[in-house]
Amino acid sequence: MKPTSACNLVTILGPTASGKTCLAVKLAQELSGEIISADSRQVFRRMDIGTGKDLHEYGAIPYHLIDVLEPGQECSLFTFQRLFLQAFEGITARGQLPILCGGTGLYLDAALRGYRMVEVPENLQLRAKLADKSDAELIEILMKLVPDQHNRTDLTDRSRTIRAIEIASYQPDDQAEQEPFPAISPLVLGIRWERTELRRRITQRLRQRLEAGMLDEIQQLHAGGVGWERLDYYGLEYRYGGMFLRGELNRNDLFQKLNAAIHDFAKRQETWFRRMERNGVVIHWLDGAEDPVTESLQIVNSNIVSLA
User: Which residues are annotated as part of the binding site for substrate?
Assistant: 16-21
Whether 18 and 288 have beta carbons less than 8 Å apart is answered as: yes
Binding site, annotated residues for ATP = 14-21
- Host H or E run for residue 77: helix 77-93
Tell me if 35 sits within 8 A of 24, measured CB to CB: yes
Answer yes or no: are the C-beta atoms of 243 and 223 closer than 8 Å. no
Tell me the residue length of the chain: 308
Q: What is the DSSP string of 160-215?
A: HHHHHHHHHH----HHHHTS------EEEEEEE--HHHHHHHHHHHHHHHHHTTHH
SS3 55: helix
Q: State the virtual CA torsion across 146, 263, 260, 213 in degrees, nearest 10.
A: -110
- Kindly give the interhelix angle for 195-211 and 214-223, rounded to the nearest 10 degrees: 60
Helix (H, G, I), strand (E, B) or coil at 222: helix
- According to DSSP, residue 57 is labeled G
Which segments are annotated as binding site?
14-21
User: How far is it, in rounded angstroms, from Cα 108 to Cα 129?
Assistant: 32
